[in-house]
A and B are shown apart, each in its own frame.
Chain A
Amino acid sequence: MRFMLLFSRQGKLRLQKWYVPLSDPQKKKISREVIQMVLARKPKMCSFLEWRDLKIVYKRYASLYFCCAVEDQENELITLEIIHRYVELLDKYFGSVCELDIIFNFEKAYYILDEFILGGEAQETSKKIVLKAIEQADMLQEVGPIYFMKAFSARWAI
């Protein structure tokens, strides 16, 4: 996979993950083009587009478009499945995810994506394992502040 974009129906980018190193202006240009192309599609059309030398696979969930760009050799239905799996993960994590969740907790969305896909390939195909890893990482984050408080209180003998 080369990159993944999430954007709303108005064309606002909610998440962008790039698996190839590109400079910022290039990224912007590509995002703009791809977003325009996908938004121009009518609802009944098939989910696969051809663009430059890549294939664009997209799917619309409620008000968000999930869009991936894969290489020519890549299997399109697998990519659709990856998108679906990611949505399921988000759903499980946030509990009935909606666009606002992704807007306000965008870094969590990124973390989940990072647990699922690494370097453009699917890391882990089992939902349970991915979710478990994320939960544990979250716990680690929470444990941190408590330690800090303990250390702080220990120092000041509160």
Chain B
Amino acid sequence: MALKIVKGSIDRMFDKNLQDLVRGIRNHKEDEAKYISTCIDEIKQELKQDNIAVKANAVCKLTYLQMLGYDISWAAFNIVEVMSSSKFTYKRIGYLAASQCFHEGTDVIMLTTNQIRKDLSSPNQYDTGVALTGLSCFVTPDLARDLANDIMTLMSHTKPYIRKKAVLIMYKVFLKYPESLRPAFPRLKEKLEDPDPGVQSAAVNVICELARRNPKNYLSLAPLFFKLMTSSTNNWVLIKIIKLFGALTPLEPRLGKKLIEPLTNLIHSRLVITLHRASVEKNVCLIGLVLPIVCVCVCVSNAVLISLSSGMPNHSASIQLCVQKLRILIEDSDQNLKYLGLLAMSKILKTHPKSVQSHKDLILQCLDDKDESIRLRALDLLYGMVSKKNLMEIVKKLMLHVDKAEGTTYRDELLTKIIDICSQSNYQYITNFEWYISILVELTRLEGTRHGHLIASQMLDVAIRVKAIRGFAVAQMAMLLDSGHLLTGNMQRNGICEVLYAAAWICGEFSEHLDDPMQTLEAMLRPKVASLPGHIQAVYVQNAAKLFATVLQKHEGATDSQAAQDTSQLLIERLPLFVQSANLEVQERASCILQLVKYIQKLQQKDVEVAEEVSALFAGELNPVAPKAQKKVPVPEGLDLDAWINEPPSESESEDEKPKAVFAKEEPKQSRARHIEVDEKELARRREARKQEQANNPFYIKSSPSSQKVYQDAPGVEHIPVVQIDLSVPLKVPGMPMSEQYLKLEEERRQKERADKKKKDKKKKKREKRGKGKRDDSGPESEEDITPAHQVDIVTEEMPENALPSDDDDKDPNDPHKALDIDLDKYVPSAENTLHKVTVCMLHAEKQGDLSITRHFLV
């Protein structure tokens, strides 16, 4: 026996330990994989030994290999063995390996439950500590359920070291096993007043995290936290508490008012000290700095918001203070500070756009920064800072950036942002849609972008919904179709050739505005078109048919019946190319239309008037449909979705039988309803509903009655006023930057308006001179006074009747924090209650048949 041991230990002397392994790997840089696979074989041998020390060594090496990227899940059982060793060293190694590689799918986790429980009740605090640390990484719902009570008792352990860890791990346990929150909460609350600062901050941490997600349950703790905030000097804790208040203030208005004082003090005191420190020690971590700025700004802005809505006026001073300090941050040369300043500004922007707008110059400067993150933040800010006045200017600057942007990702980002900025809130800020279309066309000149579809969808959107602009849009699109460069551009999906999709569709749908439909038709059917992606070709073919209808209408009836026949001939010549296309959709459409045209040609040869019938093919307006419309379709009465349609299938029947589609009969009715044009009454009703909503919304910036009237009374295309601008803007010269012209036009138009207004005001003042003593300053031109260049009738999206646009359906049903949303006020922390809760838990567990917990309690 002794000989065996000696022999064994000699063998073991040649085992590699961790250091050897690492050194070995470093020395074998060329054939690393081979070396490692030999090592793994050796490790497998070692794991078969009985000696726990050897196993632990092997597991340690495995952990290292796991870090390098090798899978060690096959050794899970051995890891559990090592975890169960009584020696601290090995136990530690075991838990480390477990925390690195165990996850919910690991089968052997259930074997660890009892082991962990033993360790949790071990007299050695480091054993417990190691178990808690390891557990936090791989806790599963089962483990959480089984061990929740043990951990709860540990929260009242004598050693603060253990208490701290137990408190922190409870958060993870709550996430996995929400039912443990109720019994644990009173104890957690006690820990907030624990004498040991470590435990206290741990408790603050946990409650802050919980409260962030479900703030209303933790409102009752607000006074306690307030006390902590004013008395604590630990920066970390303070930051957490302030963040917590940020989440609570929206729910409790009085809290906001109370907080203003201490928070402003904090800003004043901390910022001065730490800015000085930052300038002195370059590398210092600016923790004291962050304390007021990022969190507080949000908090204060929340608070001010609440107090504003409840009628207290004087807190704009605190917002001004915040914005000032943020400006200092942004102007600092340290990139991190800049970034944070911009971040905080964008948060304030949401609630107080006016105070931020005065810093527009600084933000635009940040756009020039070399650091991409800062540029992106500045872009985000701009998004919130646009107004009708400065939209054109800002977009002009952004276009300059697009031109000189280096990489395509940044350029793409810019493009997305430009479009986002312009299209926000239903194009609220665009006063001149012609300008917007010209911007979109300029954007198509970008090469190598991946957002072609975005531009395309914008063009479509604008053309459909802004009736007044269709003429201009169609002209531009015809130009695009003609231009060769888009066809030779890259053909990948979402490339810039997507724009042709939009162009073709717009030309086809609104072909009545085209000057020369023949020309466009010809351009659509060029052979080069066959090299475009399939979906674009399909659109081309379909719209060629629509154009054909328009051409027929134009030429028939006129003396020029030959032109009509020529068109048919053209189509018959060119379409066969598409019929042979590899794409099914293109093939189908092309062959349908080809047949149709052949038939029409026959009729034409007999001199029959076909134009009317052909245009009837494409009659009816297609209106935009709201995105949630499908969900809001009401279930028709008398329809029970849960009732069986057929007899329930017996076991022997095949599973391929599909039940009869419930909506098969209903669908045609619904789709037809959607195509009927929205009539006046419906529009008026919807407008009323919208106005109501806006009136009730305190944050909606109301426009003045004059511009609102403009939107309402414009019944459509017939009432477009003559635009009084005499400049001859050459619209058909490709390659010329047209958007500049619009900027100048806009400026002149506004100046004219201002001059007119002043004349009117002066007349008014002469009349009222006797009444008023003071001279009424016309003041800065407010946003609402700018009337748009064209009267715009934006078609609203369609929804099924009586449906309201709402956002309820977006929440994630699997969110663990939803399960933690329980009312905790009922649980008053008193000793009897705690005991009562624990017994209740035990009885509950017993009912569920969970014997392990009850056994623990009976011990």
Which A residues fall within an 8 A CB radius of B? Answer: 13-16, 18-19, 21-24, 28, 42, 44-50, 73, 75-78, 80-81, 84, 103-104, 106-107, 110-111, 114-115, 118-119, 121-126, 129, 133, 136-137, 140-141, 144
A77 & B168 in contact (Cβ 8 Å cutoff): no
- Shortest beta-carbon distance, A99 to chain B, in Å? 12
Interface on chain B toward A: helix, strand, loop, or mixed SS?
helix
A42–B295 CA distance with the chains assembled, in angstroms: 28
Given contacts A23-B105, A44-B335, 7 further A-B contacts (CB under 8 A): A14-B67, A48-B373, A75-B290, A76-B339, A84-B285, A114-B133, A126-B197
B67 & A122 in contact (Cβ 8 Å cutoff): no
B89 & A141 in contact (Cβ 8 Å cutoff): yes
- Shortest beta-carbon distance, B196 to chain A, in Å? 10
B285 & A103 in contact (Cβ 8 Å cutoff): no
Taking CB as reference atom, which chain A residue is nearest B287? A81
Taking CB as reference atom, which chain B residue is nearest A145? B89
A-B contact pairs, 9 of them (CB 8 A): A78-B287, A78-B290, A104-B22, A107-B93, A119-B171, A121-B209, A133-B129, A137-B88, A141-B89
B373 & A46 in contact (Cβ 8 Å cutoff): yes
- Shortest beta-carbon distance, A138 to chain B, in Å? 10
Q: Is B73's beta carbon under 8 Å from chain A?
A: yes
- Segment of B96-104, B392-400, B615-623, B786-794 in the binding face: B96-104
Taking CB as reference atom, which chain B residue is nearest A83? B285
Interface range, B side = 35 or more
B285 & A81 in contact (Cβ 8 Å cutoff): yes
B371 & A46 in contact (Cβ 8 Å cutoff): yes
Return the contact of A13 from the options B68, B96, B104, B105 (Cβ within 8 A): B68
In the complex, the 6 A-B pairs of residues with the closest C-beta atoms, listed nearest first: A77-B290, A46-B335, A119-B136, A21-B103, A45-B371, A46-B339
- Shortest beta-carbon distance, A104 to chain B, in Å? 6
- For A81, list chain B residues within 8 Å (CB): 285, 287
Q: Is B638's beta carbon under 8 Å from chain A?
A: no
- For B69, list chain A residues within 8 Å (CB): 13, 28
A118–B139 CA distance with the chains assembled, in angstroms: 13
A44 & B370 in contact (Cβ 8 Å cutoff): yes
Taking CB as reference atom, which chain B residue is nearest A114? B133
B101 & A24 in contact (Cβ 8 Å cutoff): yes
B285 & A24 in contact (Cβ 8 Å cutoff): no
- Shortest beta-carbon distance, A134 to chain B, in Å? 10
- For A122, list chain B residues within 8 Å (CB): 205, 236
B198 & A111 in contact (Cβ 8 Å cutoff): no
B172 & A119 in contact (Cβ 8 Å cutoff): yes
A19–B505 CA distance with the chains assembled, in angstroms: 51
Chain B 174-206 interface residues, beta-carbon cutoff 8 Å to A: 197-198, 201-202, 205-206
A21–B176 CA distance with the chains assembled, in angstroms: 11
A140–B92 CA distance with the chains assembled, in angstroms: 11
- Shortest beta-carbon distance, A81 to chain B, in Å? 5
Return the contact of B373 from the options A50, A104, A124 (Cβ within 8 A): A50
Return the contact of A75 from the options B104, B133, B164, B243 (Cβ within 8 A): B243
- For A28, list chain B residues within 8 Å (CB): 69
Q: Is B137's beta carbon under 8 Å from chain A?
A: yes
A77 & B340 in contact (Cβ 8 Å cutoff): yes
A45 & B236 in contact (Cβ 8 Å cutoff): no
Q: Is B138's beta carbon under 8 Å from chain A?
A: yes
Q: Is B674's beta carbon under 8 Å from chain A?
A: no
A144 & B87 in contact (Cβ 8 Å cutoff): yes
Return the contact of A50 from the options B103, B336, B376 (Cβ within 8 A): B376
A124 & B164 in contact (Cβ 8 Å cutoff): yes
Chain B 271-310 interface residues, beta-carbon cutoff 8 Å to A: 285-287, 289-290, 294-295
- For B73, list chain A residues within 8 Å (CB): 24
A140–B198 CA distance with the chains assembled, in angstroms: 23
Contact flags (1/0) for B84-117 with A, using CB distance below 8 Å? 0001110011001001111111000000000000
Q: Is B372's beta carbon under 8 Å from chain A?
A: yes
A55–B234 CA distance with the chains assembled, in angstroms: 25
B18 & A45 in contact (Cβ 8 Å cutoff): no
- Pick the most buried of A28, A118, A125, A141: most chain B CB atoms within 10 A of its CB: A118
B103 & A118 in contact (Cβ 8 Å cutoff): no
- For A133, list chain B residues within 8 Å (CB): 126, 129, 161
* A44-B201 contact in complex given A77-B294, A78-B287, C-beta closer than 8 Å: no
A46–B132 CA distance with the chains assembled, in angstroms: 36
Return the contact of A125 from the options B87, B168, B236 (Cβ within 8 A): B236
A107 & B96 in contact (Cβ 8 Å cutoff): yes
- For A21, list chain B residues within 8 Å (CB): 102-104, 137-138, 140
* A107-B63 contact in complex given A77-B285, A118-B165, C-beta closer than 8 Å: yes
A45–B371 CA distance with the chains assembled, in angstroms: 5
Chain B 49-95 interface residues, beta-carbon cutoff 8 Å to A: 60, 63-64, 67-69, 71, 73, 87-89, 92-93
- For B287, list chain A residues within 8 Å (CB): 77-78, 81
- For B168, list chain A residues within 8 Å (CB): 118-119, 121, 123
- Shortest beta-carbon distance, B186 to chain A, in Å? 21
Q: Is B338's beta carbon under 8 Å from chain A?
A: yes
- Shortest beta-carbon distance, B618 to chain A, in Å? 44
- For A144, list chain B residues within 8 Å (CB): 87-89
- For A129, list chain B residues within 8 Å (CB): 198
A45 & B335 in contact (Cβ 8 Å cutoff): yes
- Shortest beta-carbon distance, B586 to chain A, in Å? 37
* A126-B198 contact in complex given A50-B376, A104-B19, A137-B126, C-beta closer than 8 Å: yes
A106–B286 CA distance with the chains assembled, in angstroms: 29
- For A104, list chain B residues within 8 Å (CB): 18-19, 22
* A123-B198 contact in complex given A45-B372, A140-B88, A141-B92, C-beta closer than 8 Å: yes
B373 & A45 in contact (Cβ 8 Å cutoff): yes
B67 & A13 in contact (Cβ 8 Å cutoff): yes
Q: Is B152's beta carbon under 8 Å from chain A?
A: no
Return the contact of B18 from the options A14, A24, A107 (Cβ within 8 A): A107
